[in-house]
Amino acid sequence: MPAPIRLRELIRTIRTARTQAEEREMIQKECAAIRSSFREEDNTYRCRNVAKLLYMHMLGYPAHFGQLECLKLIASQKFTDKRIGYLGAMLLLDERQDVHLLMTNCIKNDLNHSTQYVQGLALCTLGCMGSSEMCRDLAGEVEKLLKTSNSYLRKKAALCAVHVIRKVPELMEMFLPATKNLLSEKNHGVLHTSVVLLTEMCERSPDMLAHFRKLVPQLVRILKNLIMSGYSPEHDVSGISDPFLQVRILRLLRILGKSDDDSSEAMNDILAQVATNTETSKNVGNAILYETVLTIMDIKSESGLRVLAINILGRFLLNNDKNIRYVALTSLLKTVQTDHNAVQRHRSTIVDCLKDLDVSIKRRAMELSFALVNGNNIRGMMKELLYFLDSCDPEFKADCASGVFLAAEKYAPSKRWHIDTIMRVLTTAGSYVRDDSVPNLIQLITNSVEMHAYTVQRLYKALLDDISQQPLVQVASWCIGEYGDLLVSGQCEEEEPIQVTEDEVLDVLEGLLVSNLSTPVTRGYALTAIMKLSTRFSSVNRIKKVVSIYGSSIDVELQQRAVEYNALFKKYDHMRPALLERMPIMEKTATNGPTEIVQTNGETEPSVVESKHPPPVTQPTNQVTLISQSFNYLLLLTLCLGIPPMTAYNKNGLKIDFTFERANPNPNIAVITIHASNSTEADMTDFVFQAAVPKTFQLQLLSPSSNVVPALNQGTVTQVIRVLNPQKQQLRMRIKLTYTLKGSAVQDLAEVNNFPPQSWQ
Amino acid sequence: MIRFLLLFSRQGKLRLQKWFTPLTDREKKKVIRDMTMLVLPRPPRSSNFVQWRDLKIVYKRYASLYFCAGLEQHDNELLALEVLHRYVELLDKYFGNVCELDIIFNFEKAYFILDEFLMGGEILETSKLAVGATMEEADTLQETMEEYMSKPAY
C-alpha cells in the first residue's frame, strides 16, 4: 500500500479544485483512504492522516471518525504525534462526547512528563477544553505545577487553574496556598497569568477578595516599576512597557478597591500618575487610559480623580480614532447614572457624535443622548434628536422614535410642545413607530382638552400632505372623527384657523377608504370616523350613503362595521347621538408596564354588555386597545331583543322548551336553544332531537349537550338550532324525538306552530 | 476572557478557528456565519468594534485576512486590538513576512503559536521573544531531521 499523500500535497491538490463539487469529490476520496489507513492501525502515518483530517475539518467537512485516532496520537511517545494529537483533540473533541474522558489518563501522564513541552501540551489542552470531570481528576497535578520554579510551566499552570476554577468553582480553595508568592516572580508571563488567576478568585469569592486586599501595595509597586522602567525590548509596545500586564493589574486593582476606602486610597496616586503620564498618540496608550478610567470610576476615588477620568473620556470623544470615540461613548453610558452632571458637561460633543458616519458610534451616541435628556435641556436635545430621526438609517428609527416619545412624556414643557413633537415623529418616521404609540397618542390628545382644535387642524393638514404613514393616518382619522366639528367651525386658537368645509373633510376620509396605501386597520378607523361625523356634521345623507356602500365590502371587518352602522341609522337612530358622543377623559389604570384603559363613562345598558360578551374594556394586552372603536359598535352587537320563550312539546314526561336569541347582526337568522327536561322516574337515554322546516327556510342543528335527559327534572339537555328565514315567513317546524326509557325505545313526531311573531319577523 | 478567535479570508473562507468555550458543531458554524456576515460588509473606515448578542466583537483586517475575536462585556476592546496585533507579529516573526498562504499551508503551526500566546481565552505570555524561542525549541523535538530543516514530515 503506497504511503498516504503528505499534508501540504493534499492542501495543494484541494486548492486546485475549480468547483465545490470537484472539491467534495477529492475530499471524499481522501477520507476513504484515510479511513482504511486508520483501520489498518498504521502507526507511522497516523499523524499525517489526522493532520489532513484537521485540514478538511476546517473546510467544513465531517471528521468525527478521527476522534479516537487523536487519542492514540496523544498516547504515542513521539512528540510530533502528541502535538498533532492534542491539536486534534482540541478541534474535534469536546466535553459533550464521552470519548474525551479517555484523554484524562494520558494528560495525567503527560503532566508529569520529563519534557516541559509535553507537559505544556497537556496543560494547554486541559486549560482550553477540560471538562468538569477532567478538571476534578487533574486539579491536584495542576496545583503541583503551580508551585514549580519553571516559569514556562508555572504560567501555564496558572491559566489552567483559572479554567479549573471556572469549571469547578469549589476547587478554588486548593489553589490558595500556591498563590502565596506568585507576585514575587520576575517573569512577566508568570506575573500576568498570576494576576489573571487572582482576579478570577477575587471575582468569585468575597472571602478571597478580602484575603487578597493586602496585595494592593505590591500590585501598585509592580505597576509603578512598569511605568518608570526604561526600554525593555521584550515587552515594549510603542514605547510602553508590557501594556497587557499593566491593564490586567489595573483591572485587579479595580476589583480590590471597589467599596473599600483604604485600598482605594492606596491606589489613588498611581492611578493619577498613569492617567496623566500615559502616551496617548497610539492605541496602546489609550487602552491603558481606558482601563484606568474604568478603575477610577469604580473605586472610591476622590472627586478630583473622578473629574480627571471624565475629562479623559471627554478628550477621547474628540479623538480622530473611531475606536476611541466608540469606547468613550460606551464608558460614558456606564457612568451617566452615577456622575450625571459631569457627563452633562460633554453633552454637545456627544450630540455631535449623532452625525458620525460610523453606525456603532451613532447607536451609542443615541443611547447616551437619551440618557442625558432632562427637564432643562429637553427643548434643545429634542431638536437634535428629531433631526437625527429625520436622517438616520431605518435600523435606528424605531428605537429613536420610542426614545423621543418617552422623553417627551417625561419632560414636555407644554402640552402644545408635546403634541407638536409627536406630530413631528409621526410625519417623519411614522411607519417605524411601535404599535402601542397610536392608542397612547390618542389618549394624550383626548386628555389635552384645550388643544383639541389645534390638534385636529394640524393632523388634517398632515393628511392632506401624505397618507402613506399608517400610524399618522390612524390617529388623524380618529381625531377628525372626534373633533371634526371644531375643524369646520374654525375655532383654533394656537394658530391660524383653516377654512374647510364638511364635504372637504368627508372627501379626505373617503379618500383613505379607497386608497391602496391604507391598511385594513386604517380603513376601519376611517369608516368609524365618518360615522361619528354623522352626529357632528349636517351632511348626514352623504354619510349614510358611504356607510351603506361598505355594507357589501369584501373586507369582512369593514363590512361588519358598515352593516352595524347602517342598522344604527335605520333602527336605532334614537341611540345614535348617545353612542357617538365625544369620548371622555381616559384614566390610565397602571402607571408602568402594560397600560390598560378603563372606559369610565357609564353608557347605556352596561349590564347587557356584561352578560352577553366578555367586557372588552379591560383587555390585558401589552398594547392599549382602542376600545373607543370597538365599544361603539359592540354595544350594537350586544343589544338583546327580548323574545319570550315557549314550550314546543310536552308529552309523556318529556318537555321541550325553546328560547330565542338574536345575538347576531343578521336579522334573518333566528337562534333557538332547545331545553329538554324529563319528569319521569327514569333517565331517558339515547335521546335524539331532530327538526325539519319548510322549503323556504334553512336549518342548522348544532351538537347537543348530551344524549341523556336525567330523570325527575334533575337536568336538561340543550341544543342550538339556527334558522335562516330570508323571506320572513311564519316559522313552522316539525320535530322528531327518539329516546330509550326503561329499556324500551320511544319515538314521536310533532309540529311546532306556536312560534312568537318576534322570532321570525 | 476571549470566547473565540477566528481568521477568515475576504471571501469568508475560514483559515483558523479557536474556541475557548464548549459549543456544538452547529453552534460553531452559526457563529462563523454570523461573524463573516457581520464583519465583511463593514465599510473600510468604520470602527473595529461591533456589538453582537452579549459579546463585543473586535476585528481587524491584515492584508487579505480578517482576525475576529469575541470578548465578554468587561474586557478591554482597545487592548484586544493589541492582542490581535501581537498575534500577527508572532506569526510574522515565525514565518518571515507572513502571508495568507503561510497560514493555509501551515495551519497547524499557526495553532501551535497561538497556543503559546493565549490559553483559556486569556493572554499566556506577554513577551514577544519568549513565544518565538519556545516554538523554536519545540520544533526541534519533532522527531525527524526533515522537520527540523523546516521541511514538514507530514
pLDDT reported for residue A743: 85
∠ CA A260-A263-A264 to the nearest 5 degrees?
75
Q: What is the dihedral of CA A503, A509, A513, A519, to 10 degrees?
A: 170
Lowest mean per-residue pLDDT among A69-73, A143-147, A521-525, B150-154: B150-154
> Does the pLDDT value for residue A629 go beyond 50?
no
pLDDT in tens, A476-502: 999 999 998 888 887 777 788 888 888
Amino acid identity of A355? K
pLDDT reported for residue A665: 62
pLDDT reported for residue A467: 84
Instruction: Return the sign of the alpha-carbon dihedral for residues A724, A730, A734, A735.
Output: positive
Highest mean pLDDT among A92-101, A630-639, B53-62: B53-62
> Does the pLDDT value for residue A758 go beyond 50?
yes
User: Which residue in A15, A51, A162 is closest to B154 by CB distance?
Assistant: A51
pLDDT in tens, A367-402: 999 999 988 899 999 999 999 998 888 888 988 998
What mean pLDDT is predicted for residues A27-31? Answer: 95
Q: Nearest-CA distance from B58 to chain A in Å?
A: 10
Could you identify the residue written with the cell 408596564?
A593
What mean pLDDT is predicted for residues A14-21? Answer: 94
d(CA A269, CA A277): 12
> Does the pLDDT value for residue A158 go beyond 50?
yes
Q: Report CB contact under 8 Å: A117, B152.
A: no
Residue of B nearest to A77 (CA): B143
What mean pLDDT is predicted for residues A461-473? Answer: 87
Within 186-245 of A, beta carbons closer than 8 Å to B belong to 188-189, 192-193, 196, 233-235, 237, 242-245
User: Which residue in B50, B120, B128 is closest to A234 by CB distance?
Assistant: B128
CB atoms within 10 A of CB A336: 17
Cβ atoms of residues A748 and A644 within 8 Å: no
User: Which residue in A83, A91, A244 is closest to B112 by CB distance?
Assistant: A83
d(CA B69, CA B39): 11
CB atoms within 10 A of CB A195: 26
pLDDT reported for residue B144: 59
Cβ atoms of residues A242 and A186 within 8 Å: no
Residue of A nearest to B22 (CA): A94
pLDDT reported for residue A587: 66
User: Which residue in B79, B127, B141 is closest to A287 by CB distance?
Assistant: B79
pLDDT reported for residue A274: 94
- Best B5, B20, B115, B116 residue to mutate vs chain A (most A CBs within 10 Å): B115
Higher per-residue confidence, A573 vs B148: A573
Lowest mean per-residue pLDDT among A155-164, A611-620, A641-650, B63-72: A611-620
Could you identify the residue written with the cell 351538537?
A703
Long-range contacts of A178-184 (CB under 8 A, 24+ apart): A178/A143, A178/A146, A178/A147, A182/A158, A183/A215, A183/A218, A183/A219, A183/A222
> Does the pLDDT value for residue B55 go beyond 90?
yes
Count the helices and strands in chain B (H runs, E runs).
6, 7
Q: Report CB contact under 8 Å: A189, B144.
A: no
What mean pLDDT is predicted for residues A553-566? Answer: 89
3-state helix, strand, coil in chain A (%, to 5): 60, 10, 30
Q: Report CB contact under 8 Å: B120, A160.
A: yes
Which of A372, A702, A367, A529 lies closest to B51, judged by CA? A367
Confidence of residue A190 (pLDDT cuts 50, 70, 90): very high
Judge whether B134 is closer than 8 Å to chain A, CB to CB: yes
> Does the pLDDT value for residue A127 go beyond 80?
yes
d(CA A79, CA A340): 59
Judge whether A284 is closer than 8 Å to chain B, CB to CB: yes
pLDDT in tens, A214-230: 999 999 999 999 998 87
Long-range contacts of A583-592 (CB under 8 A, 24+ apart): A583/A446, A583/A482, A583/A628, A584/A446, A585/A446, A585/A447, A585/A449, A586/A443, A586/A446, A586/A447, A588/A443, A589/A618
Judge whether B146 is closer than 8 Å to chain A, CB to CB: no
Judge whether B9 is closer than 8 Å to chain A, CB to CB: no
Q: Report CB contact under 8 Å: A287, B82.
A: yes
The SS3 call for residue B116 is helix
Q: Nearest-CA distance from A60 to chain B in Å?
A: 9
Q: Report CB contact under 8 Å: A327, B134.
A: no
Confidence of residue A94 (pLDDT cuts 50, 70, 90): confident
Give A87's contacts (C-beta < 8 A, 6+ positions apart).
A54, B108, B111, B112
Q: Nearest-CA distance from A34 to chain B in Å?
A: 14
d(CA A73, CA A83): 8
pLDDT in tens, A162-187: 999 999 999 999 999 999 889 999 99
Confidence of residue A617 (pLDDT cuts 50, 70, 90): very low
Q: Nearest-CA distance from B2 to chain A in Å?
A: 11
Mean pLDDT of chain B: 91
Lowest mean per-residue pLDDT among A702-716, B14-28, B128-142: A702-716
Q: What CATH superfamily classification does A643-759 receive?
A: Gamma-adaptin ear (GAE) domain (2.60.40.1230)
Provide the pairing of β-strand A597-598 with A587-588. Answer: antiparallel
- Best A237, A274, A356 residue to mutate vs chain B (most B CBs within 10 Å): A237
Q: Nearest-CA distance from B47 to chain A in Å?
A: 5
- Three-state SS string over A603-638 comes to CCCHHHHHHHCCCHHHCCCCCCCCHHHHHHHHHHHC
The SS3 call for residue A12 is helix
User: Which residue in B86, B107, B125 is closest to A58 by CB distance?
Assistant: B107
Cβ pairs A/B, distance under 8 A = 171
d(CA B6, CA B87): 12
In chain B, what are the domains?
2-150 (3.30.450.60)
pLDDT in tens, B90-147: 999 999 999 999 999 999 999 999 999 999 999 999 999 999 999 999 998 886 544 4
Q: Report CB contact under 8 Å: A80, B153.
A: yes
Residues of A in contact with B122 (CB under 8 A): 159, 162, 193, 196
- Identify the burial level of A106 via C-beta atoms within 10 angstroms of its C-beta, where 0-12 means exposed, 13-18 middle and 19 or more buried: buried
pLDDT reported for residue A588: 60
Q: Report CB contact under 8 Å: B79, A152.
A: no
What mean pLDDT is predicted for residues A690-719? Answer: 87
Q: Where in chain A is the domain with CATH 2.60.40.1230?
A: 643-759
> Does the pLDDT value for residue A698 go beyond 80?
yes
Confidence of residue B152 (pLDDT cuts 50, 70, 90): low
Which of A264, A289, A290, A287 lies closest to A274, judged by CA? A289
> Does the pLDDT value for residue A611 go beyond 60?
no
Backbone angles phi, psi at A650, to 5 degrees: -155, 95
Q: Nearest-CA distance from A340 to chain B in Å?
A: 22
Tell me the β-bridge partners of A646.
A658
d(CA A588, CA A689): 51
pLDDT reported for residue A124: 96
> Does the pLDDT value for residue A613 go beyond 80?
no
> Does the pLDDT value for residue A632 go beyond 80?
no
> Does the pLDDT value for residue A231 go beyond 80?
yes
Q: Report CB contact under 8 Å: B108, A359.
A: no
Higher per-residue confidence, A136 vs A467: A136
pLDDT reported for residue A604: 33
Instruction: Return the sign of the alpha-carbon dihedral for residues A189, A190, A196, A200.
Output: positive
Judge whether B153 is closer than 8 Å to chain A, CB to CB: yes
d(CA A352, CA A289): 23
Backbone angles phi, psi at A105, to 5 degrees: -65, -40
pLDDT reported for residue A430: 79
Within 83-122 of B, beta carbons closer than 8 Å to A belong to 83, 86, 104-105, 107-108, 111-112, 115, 119-120, 122
H/E run at residue A640: none
Lowest mean per-residue pLDDT among A123-137, A279-293, A435-449: A435-449
Confidence of residue B27 (pLDDT cuts 50, 70, 90): very high
d(CA A371, CA A337): 8
Q: Count of alpha carbons within 13 Å of B82, Cβ hemisphere only?
A: 26
Q: Which three cell numbers stand for residue A198?
A: 487572582
Q: DSSP alpha helices (H): ranges in A412-519?
A: 415-429, 437-447, 452-465, 470-489, 502-514
pLDDT reported for residue A1: 60
The SS3 call for residue A676 is strand
Which of A730, A738, A679, A682 lies closest to A707, judged by CA? A738
pLDDT reported for residue A664: 58
Judge whether A11 is closer than 8 Å to chain B, CB to CB: yes
What mean pLDDT is predicted for residues A534-562? Answer: 88
Q: Nearest-CA distance from A23 to chain B in Å?
A: 14
d(CA B58, CA A103): 33
Mean pLDDT of chain A: 86
Q: Report CB contact under 8 Å: A237, B134.
A: no
Residues of A in contact with B51 (CB under 8 A): 360, 363
pLDDT in tens, A566-601: 888 888 888 888 888 888 777 665 443 333 333 333
Q: Report CB contact under 8 Å: B126, A8.
A: no
Judge whether B11 is closer than 8 Å to chain A, CB to CB: no
